C-alpha cells in the first residue's frame, strides 16, 4: 500500500517471540538493511505507528498482535558517491571485478542505507569508468548477496560485460557454465540428505519486509541442496550443507531451508522458532554461535564465462573467521 510519492507504508504484526521487546530492537530485526540506530532515528521522526497511534519512543515495549505500520522514506534521488572502503579483490581486469564481500556490507544504496555500500566502494576503486554501467543507482551490479551473507560477488566494469553477465545470471546456467555454490549451517539433518526444493516465493502477507512460500502470485524458485557433514547426536544436531541456485529470488536459500524445517543458524528473520534449540548446544558451540551475529551463509564458489573472451572462470572464497570458528567448534563438540 502506497502513501503518495514520499513514502511507502509497510505493515506487520508483533509475534509472540517479540512480546515485551523494545520497539527499536523489533523494528531492526524486521526491516532488512536497517540498523538499530537507523530505526531509532526513524521512530523519533514519527515514521511508525502502533494500532493507529504514532509512537516516537524507541524503548517502547511492544505487545503480541499489535499492528505496526512503518512509513518507509522514499528512495533518495542522489547518485551514489565514491567512498574509500577497502575491498578484498579476488580478480580484476578491464571487464570485470570479483570481490569477497564481507558480512554486514549492503550491496547498493537504498532509502535506509545511503553510504558504506559495495557500490560506494566500487565507484571509488574503479573510478568514473564504472558510473552508469547498468544504471546510475546500481552501477556494475548483476547479482546481489544479502547484507549479512558473505562471499564471492562479481561486478561488470563495461556495458558489454554487464550485458553478458546479466544474461548469464538470468539463464541460471542452463546454457552456459554459470554456477553458484553456497555453504550454510542449518538446524537438524535434512531428510533426504540431498534433494531439490521447488516452491514459489513471494512477499509475506503478514510482513511485507519478509519473503515467504506462497501458492499464488509467487515467483518460481528452485534450490538444490546436499548435506556435507552432520554434527551432534541425540541432544542436538546441526548440518553443514551446500546449495546450488537454479533461480535467484530474494532470501531464497533462507526461505527454502526454513520451509523444509532446517533454518540457517543465526538467521534472525527466518530462524524464528528455532532459538530454543540453542540451549541444547554444547557451551562451546553456543558461544561461537553468539559471536556469529548473522545467518550462517557464505557464497563459496562462482563460475562464469568471461564476458569478453568466453573463457570459463572459477572463483572461490574460504569461510570468513566467524563461520570458520563455528565449524571448528562444531567439529570439536562432535569429536
Residue with cell 541442496: 225
39 vs 50: CA distance, rounded Å:
15
C-alpha cell at 305: 564465462
329 vs 322: CA distance, rounded Å:
11
Catalytic site residue 116? no
- The single residue of 18, 24, 146, 148 carrying the catalytic annotation is 146
What residues form DSSP beta bridges with 11? 69
**Under 8 Å between Cβ of 143 and 269:** no
Query: Residues near 41 by Cβ (< 8 Å), separated by ≥ 6?
Result: none
User: Closest by alpha carbon to 54, among 63, 65, 66, 45?
Assistant: 45
286 vs 326: CA distance, rounded Å:
9
What residues form DSSP beta bridges with 100? 152
154 vs 279: CA distance, rounded Å:
38
Q: Is 171 helix (H, G, I), strand (E, B) or coil?
A: helix
**Helix/strand/coil (H/E/C) assignment for every residue in 112-170:** CCCCCCHHHHHHHHHHHHHCCCCCCCCCCECCCCCCCCEEEEEEECCHHHHHHHHHHHH
169 vs 271: CA distance, rounded Å:
28
What residues form DSSP beta bridges with 22? 61
Q: Which positions are annotated as active-site residues?
A: 146
Amino acid at each position: 500500500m502506497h502513501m503518495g510519492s514520499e513514502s511507502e507504508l509497510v505493515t506487520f504484526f508483533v509475534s509472540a517471540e517479540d512480546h515485551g521487546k523494545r520497539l527499536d530492537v523489533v523494528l531492526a530485526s524486521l526491516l532488512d538493511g536497517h540498523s538499530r540506530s537507523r530505526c531509532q532515528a526513524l521512530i523519533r521522526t514519527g515514521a511508525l505507528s502502533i494500532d493507529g497511534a504514532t509512537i516516537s519512543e524507541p524503548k517502547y515495549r511492544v505487545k503480541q498482535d499489535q499492528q505496526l505500520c512503518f512509513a518507509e522514506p522514499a528512495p533518495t534521488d542522489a547518485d551514489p558517491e565514491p567512498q574509500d572502503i577497502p575491498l578484498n579483490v579476488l580478480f580484476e581486469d578491464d571487464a570485470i571485478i570479483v570481490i569477497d564481500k564481507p558480512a554486514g556490507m549492503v550491496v547498493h544504496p537504498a532509502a535506509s542505507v545511503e553510504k558504506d555500500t559495495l557500490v560506494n566502494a566500487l565507484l571509488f576503486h574503479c573510478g568514473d569508468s564504472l558510473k552508469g554501467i547498468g544504471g546510475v543507482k546500481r552501477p556494475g551490479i548483476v547479482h546481489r548477496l544479502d547484507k549479512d551473507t558473505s562471499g564471492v560477488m562479481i561486478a561488470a566494469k563495461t556495458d558489454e560485460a554487464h550485458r553478458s553477465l546479466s544474461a548469464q545470471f538470468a539463464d541460471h546456467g542452463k546454457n552456459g557454465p554459470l554456477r553458484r555454490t553456497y555453504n550454510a549451517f542449518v538446524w537438524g539433518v535434512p531428510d533426504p540428505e540431498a534433494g531439490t526444493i521447488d516452491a514459489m516465493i513471494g512477499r509475506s502477507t503478514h510482513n511485507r519486509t519478509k519473503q515467504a512460500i506462497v501458492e499464488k502470485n509467487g515467483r518460481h524458485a528452485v534450490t538444490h541442496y546436499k548435506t556435507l557433514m552432520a554434527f551432534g547426536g541425540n541432544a542436538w544436531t546441526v548440518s553443514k550443507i551446500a546449495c546450488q541456485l537454479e533461480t535467484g529470488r530474494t532470501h531464497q536459500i533462507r526461505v527454502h531451508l526454513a520451509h523444509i524445517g532446517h533454518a540457517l543458524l543465526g538467521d534472525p528473520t527466518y530462524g524464528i522458532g528455532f532459538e530454543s534449540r540453542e540451549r541444547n548446544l554444547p557451551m562451546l558451540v553456543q558461544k561461537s554461535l553468539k559471536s556469529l551475529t548473522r545467518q550462517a551463509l557464505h557464497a563459496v564458489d562462482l563460475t562464469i564465462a568471461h564476458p569478453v573472451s568466453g573463457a570459463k572462470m572459477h572463483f572461490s572464497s574460504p569461510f570468513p573467521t566467524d563461520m570458520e570458528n563455528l565449524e571448528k567448534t562444531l567439529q570439536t563438540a562432535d569429536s
